[in-house]
């Protein structure tokens, strides 16, 4: 796991694209694990500041309780549909997975994986780029 700052230093251009997608809309989606192991999806607002990716949680919120018990999480940027005829302009979507670390006044994300899914410039291929601390930046293209 790594801090957002370390990821940003390792892959600044990729980090910029992912952050732009997360910053484009106020509301994102977060997945956590309930006590019985089943998934929970929650709306969330995130913030990038001082090299960290952070978010808050109300004191009795279930997502906060989930993370204090099992810190694994996945964040998803807001999703927008491509405009018909202008698919090449679709910015794509971003995902970040890792661990939510309780800071006392919220949570910071220790990053395990960052993904950006988008189309190639011709809008003929789906491009999936992902980064992990162990594997670095990788990419696949699919029809």
Q: Is residue 139 situated within a structural domain?
A: no
137 in any annotated domain? no
Q: Which residues contact 91 (CB under 8 A, 6 or more apart)?
A: 20, 21, 24, 80, 118
pLDDT digits (tens, 9 = 90+) for 2-27: 999 999 999 999 999 999 999 999 99
pTM listed for this prediction: 0.95
For residue 92, the SS3 value is coil
* Domain enclosing residue 107, as ranges: 4-113
pLDDT digits (tens, 9 = 90+) for 25-55: 999 999 999 999 999 999 999 999 999 999 9
Note the pLDDT of residue 5: 97
Q: Specify the number of domains making up the chain.
A: 1
Q: For position 69, which CATH number holds?
A: 2.30.110.10
Residue 124 covered by a domain: no
Radius of gyration, alpha carbons of the chain: 16
**24 in Cβ contact with 77 (< 8 Å):** yes
Is the CA virtual torsion 33, 25, 80, 123 positive or negative? Answer: negative
Residue with tokens 């607002």: 45
Q: Is residue 46 part of a domain?
A: yes
């Amino acid at each position: 796991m790594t801090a957002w700052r370390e990821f940003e230093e390792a892959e600044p251009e990729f980090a910029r694209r992912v952050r732009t997608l997360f910053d484009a809309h106020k509301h994102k989606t977060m997945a956590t694990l309930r006590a019985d192991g089943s998934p929970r999806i929650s709306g969330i607002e995130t913030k990038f500041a001082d090299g960290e990716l952070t978010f808050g949680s109300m004191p009795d919120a279930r997502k906060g309780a989930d993370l204090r018990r099992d810190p694994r999480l996945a964040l998803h940027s807001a999703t927008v549909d491509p405009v018909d005829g202008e698919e090449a302009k679709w910015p794509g979507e971003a995902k970040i997975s890792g661990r939510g670390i309780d800071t006392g006044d919220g949570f910071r994300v220790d990053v395990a994986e960052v993904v950006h899914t988008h189309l190639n410039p011709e809008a003929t291929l789906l491009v999936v780029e992902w980064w992990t601390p162990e594997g670095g930046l990788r990419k696949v293209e699919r029809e």
